[in-house]
Chains A and B, each alone.
Chain A
């Protein structure tokens, strides 16, 4: 094992190690956030689809009843 590095030399390695950890967590959270935003977009799309269908169902007249034969 090498002798202990001076603070200015060692600081670079310590900072690099902690930045690697931070970068990993940030990249993971960023990927998850993009997935979450995609889910949100899909929810909005589905909500619009359902609203559109409900509006179509309200606008169209109810089907006419077939006349019953008179005995």
Chain B
């Protein structure tokens, strides 16, 4: 689907009147940003489920959603920086609220792993990480709304054609790119969850074969959740 979206970007979507060819970055930058932000919120929702049920699978899902969202956020910051350089002539503009607010969100989530790693007790680690994910997940839409309300600043407007707004061909391309990015996120989440489940089952099996009764206790400190 992403390949199809990128084909639409270069062969179907018209050039933007204001920005020209550089506006093509929009189709990878904005879907990545939206999916990353939604991923953070979904991570918070999984964390709520963990706090309610105390089931470790929800902590694992929250961890994986946040992990992938942070990876996408790195992509958002880099592609945004490239777009800023092409549009404004600077790699980074500190008085642009959208950029700075996204950086704040990224830095906030960058503390998620040190927080987890700092706590050796796995139950405590999962609980504290869930509280963090809920609070940070609630911060994401608030932050986004605050930036939207800051009308005195203007983020680069895309789809600015003579008629104004996003034209149908651009809108279709954007929707396909967004759907592709969302599917990529879900697929990678499932991939990582399957990998983590397999790893923990193998470790448990190895301990069982070695005759260790306490088969689910992990040795050493780790930021990763325990199933």
Contact = CB atoms under 8 A, between A and B. Distances in A.
* Same complex origin of A and B: yes
Interface of A: 1-2, 4-7, 10-11, 13-14, 16-18, 20-21, 24-25, 28, 32, 35-36, 39, 42-43, 46, 49-50, 53
Nearest to B25: A17
A23 to B, nearest CB: 9
Nearest to A2: B89
Contact of A10 (B79, B86, B199): B86
Interface string B6-47: 100000000010111110110011001000000000000000
Contacts of B191: 32
Interface residues of B, number: 37
Nearest to B19: A4
A47 B33 CA distance: 44
Contact of B25 (A4, A13, A43): A13
A24 to B, nearest CB: 5
Interface string B195-227: 100110010011001000000000000000000
Given A2-B88, A21-B75, A46 B28 contact: no
Contacts of A14: 21-22, 24-25
Contacts, number: 82
24 contacts: A1-B88, A2-B86, A2-B89, A4-B18, A4-B19, A5-B21, A7-B20, A10-B22, A10-B86, A13-B82, A14-B21, A14-B24, A14-B25, A17-B78, A17-B79, A17-B82, A17-B83, A20-B82, A21-B28, A24-B75, A28-B188, A35-B195, A39-B195, A49-B209
B21 A1 contact: no
Contacts of A6: 20
Interface of B: 6, 16, 18-22, 24-25, 28-29, 32, 71-72, 74-75, 78-79, 82-83, 85-89, 156, 184, 188, 191-192, 195, 198-199, 202, 205-206, 209
Contacts of B75: 20-21, 24
A46 B19 contact: no
